[in-house]
Structure 1
Amino acid sequence: MQFLHAAESAILTLRAGEGEGNDRLALQRAFSAVLLEGPSEVARAARKMVDALRADLSWDDLESARAGFVEAARVALQKAGES
């Protein structure tokens, strides 16, 4: 959840052209937590989102990366609930 919040803050900062200087730092911290805590599918989706933000891709590409992360997280949570 922290990663999604940090990523959305970074997207809004890019879109508005302004924002807090710590948005990227918060994103990096949240991304590191996702990498450490897994699962791997969620970490891969988070990496795609971070890469999209760093590459200054289009808003459609950023939204696609965000949707991919959300879906990977939902699937992981569903699997965890079934265990």
Structure 2
Amino acid sequence: MPRDFHKEQPNNPLHGVTLEMVVRRLEQHYGWKELARLVRLNCFANNPSVKSSLQFLRRTPWAREKVEALYMETKFEESD
């Protein structure tokens, strides 16, 4: 692991945000049904759960990119 691995990453909007945090926040904001409509993934449409979604997204980089892009585009309110 590089020595400066833990340094701040000001140009990375997802620095310090885990994939689990992304999935939970999107699910709370949109709900599974709307999330499945916005990002067409079976892990959101068929018997969705945070655990199964994380398993799929961790091994499928293109799907993870879509979910992270939605997260960055979403305007969350303070109460979300």
- Do they superpose with TM above 0.5? no
Higher Cα Rg: structure 1 or 2? 2
- TM-score of the two chains, using structure 1 as the length reference: 0.33
- TM-score of the two chains, using structure 2 as the length reference: 0.34
